[in-house]
Amino acid sequence: MNKFRRFLLKFKEKKGLTGADVAAAITVIVLAAGIATAIYVNSINKSKDNMRYSAAVRIATSVVENIEKQPYETLETNCSSANNYKYNFVGNGNKSVFETKIPNGFKLTVTTSVPTTPDIVRDVIVNVQYKANNNYKTITLTTLKEREMLDMTNSPDLAFLDGYNPNDNTQHYYPIKLNSAKTSYVITTFEDNSWYDYNAGNYAIIYVTASSLNVNDDYKKNSSTGQRYVWIPRFVSGTSGSGVQYLYGSSDYKIIWRTDNNFGRYSYIDVTSKQPKKYDEPNYRYVADTFSSNDGYAGFWYNMDNSANQGKITSATKELLSKNPINNVLAAEKTSKFPK
């Protein structure tokens, strides 16, 4: 740098420059340019590395989230024993895997643990590999996937009870069941396995009251006043009311009993196609206009003590329910299946 300063001083004093001065100045400039170029190139490479790292994280996160949302059978099919419980895919930018597009330059590997018998839960490892600065790097995320263990119907859900407010301390929501003599109802708990069994025609009933009651109390203890509601899960029925198919969640997909790999269970995934299967048309249809496609209702609570206050249920649905041998709410009351 001293030579460069002498170069500037001579230039300023107009004393002329020697060949050595010019050569020294050029050397300094070339070195400075080289350093600047190296810094710029490193900065560009680091920026590209950061971008690819961020992209890999997004891909891995999306795959994990979609595995958690999709049916267990989707994971089961892609990570089968034939593939050593592993799924590999090299990105091409066009195909989606687990509803996630894998761009060029990225490789996805999804590996599950070897399933136990029955196959109901697996550890899942998601690796996304990418190249940065001539080196391969990998992003790894893990999750746990559980098979959807369904009941014959959608489980009772207070969120679908008209007027339900979990923050209202003046109202109590008690599950009730028949006493041993089947002459009245007693208070039970939501965790009680004998509270309901739709397979046996035993419906889930709750009692809404301002009175404070304890487990095993008669629901009318101390002359308590309230209203009973029975859970009608989402279903389709024949137009004459004969036959029923229960539906999964708020979807059009029917819940079926399936047995494969010596494992019997309820599912909304067809054994052969490994895809959700819609209810059978045209023999079945939605019950009147109480349920409609994509309405978000997994079921509704039928008010057993106030026929005028039925919320979403319609008169046409009430009539259809009275004809149905399984969801026979109205007729059941008349035959004292549901005691007063």
Supply the DSSP string of 328-339, one letter for each residue: -HHHHHHTTSS-
Within-domain flag for 52: no
Within-domain flag for 293: yes
Tokens 């999709």: give the residue. 70
**C-alpha neighbours within 13 Å on the C-beta side of residue 252:** 12
On whether both 27 and 173 belong to a single domain, the answer is: no
- Domain range enclosing 223: 158-334
- The whole-number pLDDT of residue 245 equals 81
**Which residue did the predictor score with more confidence, 21 or 145?**
145
- The whole-number pLDDT of residue 124 equals 97
Return the percentage of the chain with pLDDT > 70, whole number. Answer: 71
H or E, element range at 12: helix 2-13
- The whole-number pLDDT of residue 109 equals 96
Query: What is the overall mean pLDDT for the chain?
Result: 79
Within-domain flag for 83: yes
Within-domain flag for 322: yes
**281 DSSP β-pair partners:** none
Q: Are 218 and 245 in contact (CB under 8 A)?
A: no
As a whole number of Å, the CA-based R_g of the chain is 34
Q: Are 287 and 320 in contact (CB under 8 A)?
A: yes
- The whole-number pLDDT of residue 259 equals 84
On whether both 172 and 293 belong to a single domain, the answer is: yes
Average pLDDT over residues 242-259: 84
- The whole-number pLDDT of residue 273 equals 82
pTM (predicted TM-score): 0.67
pLDDT of 281 above 80: no
- The whole-number pLDDT of residue 243 equals 67
Q: Are 256 and 270 in contact (CB under 8 A)?
A: yes
On whether both 78 and 174 belong to a single domain, the answer is: no
Q: What is the pLDDT of residues 78-93, one digit of tens each?
A: 998 999 999 999 988 7
On whether both 139 and 163 belong to a single domain, the answer is: no
Q: For residue 286, name the pLDDT band (cuts at 50, 70, 90).
A: low
On whether both 314 and 166 belong to a single domain, the answer is: yes
Q: What is the pLDDT of residues 1-32, one digit of tens each?
A: 555 555 555 555 555 556 565 555 566 565 65
What gap in Å lies between CA 309 and CA 321, rounded to an integer? Answer: 16
- The whole-number pLDDT of residue 194 equals 92
On whether both 198 and 329 belong to a single domain, the answer is: yes
pLDDT of 47 above 90: no
H or E, element range at 308: none
Q: For residue 242, name the pLDDT band (cuts at 50, 70, 90).
A: low
Q: For residue 309, name the pLDDT band (cuts at 50, 70, 90).
A: low
**The total number of structural domains that make up the chain:** 3
